[in-house]
Amino acid sequence: MTNAAQTDEHLLESFRTAMRHVAATVHAVTTGPVGGRHGILATAVSSLSFEPPSLLVCINRAASLHEPLACAETFCVNVLGMGNRDVADAFFRNRGEERFAVGEWAELYGVPILQSAQSSFVCRTAHRHEFGTHTVFIGELLACHHRADARPLTYYDRHYIDIEAAPAGGGSKA
């Protein structure tokens, strides 16, 4: 690594390449009634606080979910497990209501919840903050469901991976 400044284009490409190599859990972020069910796949999701229990979700303003989520009072973060690969594929291939053709979906607080998800977090939208190309949605937890027997669906370098298949130990030490 050098101290030389990178051009904007080179910096952006370096950032994209580096972020592709950060393993991330895959989430189906969903919301309800504004014209029907809406959802997208997202990896930019994180816990925020335990008091109050809350999450943050970063959604590109060009994404199909952005406008419905910006108008919604509630949303759900469905943490996809390895057994939900078919749901992830349907969300990737399809648009609108067709995304919900795969999987068993229920509704709570007016939002779609994937019954077989590893975890589902139903949130009330507490804050919205625009930054760059995205809006950060902060949600306060209304309900939560977790299945302890599910392994997370993980995305790494443009592929889904099974983190249990990753070699134990042997990595570099910090």
Please indicate, yes or no, if residue 11 is contained in any of the structural domains. Answer: no
Please indicate, yes or no, if residue 56 is contained in any of the structural domains. Answer: no
pTM, whole model, 2 decimals? 0.86
Q: Domain of 136: which CATH number?
A: 2.30.110.10
pLDDT by position in tens, the chain (length 174)? 554 566 888 888 898 888 888 888 999 999 997 778 999 999 999 999 999 999 999 999 999 999 999 999 999 999 999 999 999 999 999 999 999 999 999 999 999 999 999 999 999 999 999 999 999 999 999 999 998 887 889 998 888 888 777 655 444 444
pLDDT of residue 168: 55
Please indicate, yes or no, if residue 98 is contained in any of the structural domains. Answer: yes
Please indicate, yes or no, if residue 96 is contained in any of the structural domains. Answer: yes
Q: Chain-centre distance of CA 170, in angstroms?
A: 30
Domain extent at residue 91: 24-49+67-103+116-159
pLDDT of residue 23: 84
Cβ atoms of 59 and 40 within 8 Å: the answer is yes
Please indicate, yes or no, if residue 61 is contained in any of the structural domains. Answer: no
Please indicate, yes or no, if residue 170 is contained in any of the structural domains. Answer: no
Whole-angstrom Cα distance, residue 126 to residue 73? 8
Whole-angstrom Cα distance, residue 164 to residue 151? 8
pLDDT of residue 68: 94
Structural domains of the chain, count? 1
